Amino acid sequence: MKKFIAAFDSLRFSESTLQYSLYLAKQYDAHVVGVFLREATRIGYAVYATMVKESTASKTIFDEIDLADKRATEDAISRFEEGCRKAKVGFSIHRDKKNALDELLHETVFADLLVIDAWETFSYIETSLPGWFIKNVLHHVHCPVLVVPKKFNQLNKLVLLYDGTPSSVHAIRMFNYVLPEMCKLETTLLTAKEDSDSLHLPDNKLIKEWMKRHFSQVSYEVLKGGVKEMSAVLKSEEPGILVVAGAYHRSNLSMWFHRSVADLLIKEVKAPLFIAHN
């Protein structure tokens, strides 16, 4: 049995994170850990603390806001519990109350997959995708990540991004390890090249030799036009695709996850994005 983490902002529950976590857990008989995070800059009274002087009245305001935050957290946990019970999925709950990023990264040391909403910011200010929090998670995470959009769709097709680097192959391999049954879905191995490059698939013989032993319905596509064309193709896909990509190395960046490419994929492709790095 695998262990999946579903990460939630305790004060802004993500229904999409819940639905994708349960959808995958039911297929793989996985145990889902709902990790409910709180950030000091996110709690309700933090904004008021910089504006209101300490007084009996202000303490009353803070107490009321703190109580409202606690109720919001309990409501979020109740929604998670109810969803898991209805889906008949085994679950645990972790209430992490310190630094949200550090707590979540520590949790991922002991997990097979992290599921998290692309909009998880732990901030009152909506940032452009991906925000600071997601970027840091992707760079430092200790297990594969499924970054999910706001809307849930059942999955019926895989698109594997491949640029010939060990990082891109590692991501595909980790996907096969974590979610093996999904490798039976219709699959496209997609490579994007600049206009001046040849349309030759990198390590053509070796990658096809490996792929046919792990993916039962795979086709191969090489695009010209680089990352922008790749993004356009992914956006044109019908709902229900899942994209697999290599991500941040510890030392350097792969072609797919140069910072601007990471931003582009998460921002423009409204589909779950499976990300793994070695």
Query: What percent of the chain stands above pLDDT 70?
Result: 82
Domains annotated on the chain, with CATH: 3-148 (3.40.50.620), 157-276 (3.40.50.620)
Query: What percent of the chain stands above pLDDT 90?
Result: 56
Token pair for 149:
């959009």
Q: Please provide the distance, in angstroms rounded to a whole number, between the alpha carbons at the two ends of the chain.
A: 23
Q: Confidence class of residue 199 from pLDDT cuts 50, 70 and 90?
A: confident
pLDDT digit string, tens, across residues 108-155: 999 999 999 999 887 666 667 788 889 889 889 999 999 999 999 999
Q: For position 40, what pLDDT does the model report?
A: 58
**Mean local confidence (pLDDT), 51-58:** 49
Greater pLDDT, 215 or 269: 215
DSSP 57-97: HHHHHHHHHHHHHHHHHHHHHHHHHHHHHHHT--EEEEEE-
Report whether pLDDT(50) > 70: no
Adjacency order of strands within the sheet including 241-246:
91-96, 31-37, 3-9, 113-117, 145-148, 273-276, 241-246, 157-161, 186-193, 217-224
Cis peptide bond upstream of 180, omega within 30: no
Longest dimension (CA), the chain: 74
Question: How far is 72 from 83, CA to CA, in rounded Å?
Answer: 17
Greater pLDDT, 131 or 260: 131
Question: How far is 23 from 106, CA to CA, in rounded Å?
Answer: 24
Report whether pLDDT(257) > 70: no
Q: For position 62, what pLDDT does the model report?
A: 63
pLDDT digit string, tens, across residues 219-235: 999 998 888 888 889 99
Q: For position 218, what pLDDT does the model report?
A: 97
Q: What is the average pLDDT value for the chain, to the nearest integer?
A: 85
Least confident of 40-49, 91-100, 210-219: 40-49
Question: How far is 90 from 83, CA to CA, in rounded Å?
Answer: 11
Report whether pLDDT(177) > 90: yes
With H, G, I as helix, E, B as strand and everything else as coil, classify residue 187: strand
Angle between helices 132-140 and 259-268 (to 10 degrees): 120
pTM for the structure as a whole: 0.88
DSSP 121-167: -SSSSPPSSS-HHHHHHHHH-SS-EEEE-SS-----EEEEE--SSHH
Q: Report CA Rg, the chain.
A: 20
**Mean local confidence (pLDDT), 212-218:** 95
